[in-house]
Amino acid sequence: MNKIGLTTTVPVEVIYAAGDTPVDLNNIFISDTREAMARIAEAELAGYPRNVCGWIKGLYATALKSPEIKKIVAVTQGDCSNTHALMETWSEEGIEIIPFAFPYDRDGDMLRLQLEKLIKTLGTTWDKVKVQKVRLDKVRRLAWEIDRLTWEENKVRGFENHLYLVSCSDFNGNPEGFARDMEGFIAEAKEREPLNLKYKGRKKRELRIGFMGVPPIMPDLYNFLEDHGARVVFNEVQRQFSMPFVTEDIVEQYQLYTYPYNVFGRIEDVAQEAERRQLDGLIHYTQSFCYRQIEDLIVRRRLDYPILNLEGENPTGLDARSKMRLESFLQMLRD
């Protein structure tokens, strides 16, 4: 059994079908803030420019610090253009790169071809992949329940929601173990009283916030919002990692998955969930030096909600300017 690194969510059913274990390098990188900053520094010492996304630099050094990872599935279309150079620098260090591309227009034939190439490369079969889809969909349903408990019953906090949904990218390398963890959490959460956050000592209706964009590199964002009487009840991309749709066809599943494709499908998904979850406002998070910052222009034109664009660079926590902007945004929503 080999550990295979991931740069983002890919069809992990294929990796499990091959008898290997997927490892989302993003989750390893961000799990320890002090270590995360050290990884960024290591990448810059190796020659990565300062004005490159912190996630890319973190992924580079994290893979080199994980000697058990000899292969990495890297997404060449549908994620970040910087991944191309990241792949080349990994190759220079002796890591085998397995490319995977999500077709821009969601073309089913092209997507099936990419899946076939990945299946052939890893030495497995379509039948084994279908078995793994059934296996993983059972685990995903538990993540969907955690998401429902977040917005419908108000018993799960924003960071808890983020943590379980984002872990669906690789199921922590152990789907059954991850399922047991979620079952225990669900049982505990259902016993809680519905959350209603206090702000400045007064218990008023909490603000319901939606988070749009890649998972944040600042780990303290969720606690800061809750300290100010606002709770994230919708994590857009993290929820997409859980494949929140019922389909028996794996090609259709990864066509419905919104993140790798154009922003218009993502906006449609956000609009539907914003209405269903009764959001008061949206935070559109963008990473420094990322092309997705340009998409904020379209997001603001298409979504009829108050929107704050929040930019993050390194995993050092929210800076004073970001805190002030968040406080002002929340006060605007209250007013």
Residue 16 lies in a domain: yes
Q: DSSP letter string over 140-185?
A: HHHHHHHHHHHHTS--S-HHHHHHHHHGGGTGGG-HHHHHHHHHHH
What's the whole-number mean pLDDT along residues 275-302?
A: 88
pLDDT at 201 over 80: no
pLDDT band at 198 (very low <50, low <70, confident <90, very high): low
Q: How confident is the model at residue 314 (pLDDT cuts 50, 70, 90)?
A: confident
Q: Is 216 within the bounds of a domain? A: no
Whether 221 maps to a domain, the answer reads no
Span 175-189, pLDDT tens digits: 999 999 999 999 999
For residue 281, is pLDDT > 90?
Answer: yes
Q: Please report, for the domain that includes residue 99, its CATH number.
A: 3.40.50.11890
Residue 105 maps to a domain: yes
For residue 310, the model assigns a pLDDT of 94
Q: Range of 64's domain?
A: 3-127
User: In the prediction, which pLDDT does 45 show?
Assistant: 95
How far is it, in rounded angstroms, from Cα 42 to Cα 227? 34
Which carries the bigger pLDDT value, residue 127 or residue 203? 127
What is the predicted pLDDT for the residue at 316? 84
pLDDT interval class at 70 (50, 70, 90): very high
Per-residue exposure over 152-182, b if at least 16 CB sit within 10 Å of its own CB, e if not:
eebbbbbbbbbbbbbbbbbbbbebeebbeeb
Cβ atoms of 252 and 277 closer than 8 Å: no
Mean pLDDT of 261-272: 95
Q: How far apart are CA 287 and CA 290, in angstroms?
A: 6
Q: Structurally, how many domains does the chain consist of? A: 1
List Cα–Cα distances, 244 to 254, 258, 273, in angstroms: 11, 10, 12
Give strand pairing partners of 211: 235, 283
Residue tagged 């996304």 (tokens): 53
Asked whether residue 107 is assigned to any structural domain, the reply reads yes
Question: What is the mean pLDDT of the segment spanning 320-335?
Answer: 95
DSSP state of 260: T
Q: Parallel, antiparallel, or unpaired for β 3-6 and 21-24?
A: parallel
pLDDT-derived band of residue 204, with 50, 70 and 90 as boundaries? Answer: low
Q: What is the pLDDT of residues 121-161, one digit of tens each?
A: 999 999 999 999 999 999 999 999 999 999 999 999 999 99
Amino acid identity, position 9: T
Residue 111, in any domain of the structure: yes
Q: Per the domain annotation, does 18 fall within a domain? A: yes
Please report which confidence band the pLDDT of residue 243 belongs to, taking 50, 70 and 90 as the band edges.
very high
> What whole-number percentage of the chain has pLDDT above 90?
81
Return the half-sphere exposure (C-beta side, CA atoms, 13 A cut-off) of residue 174: 6
Q: Does residue 201 sit within a domain?
A: no
pLDDT value for 5: 97
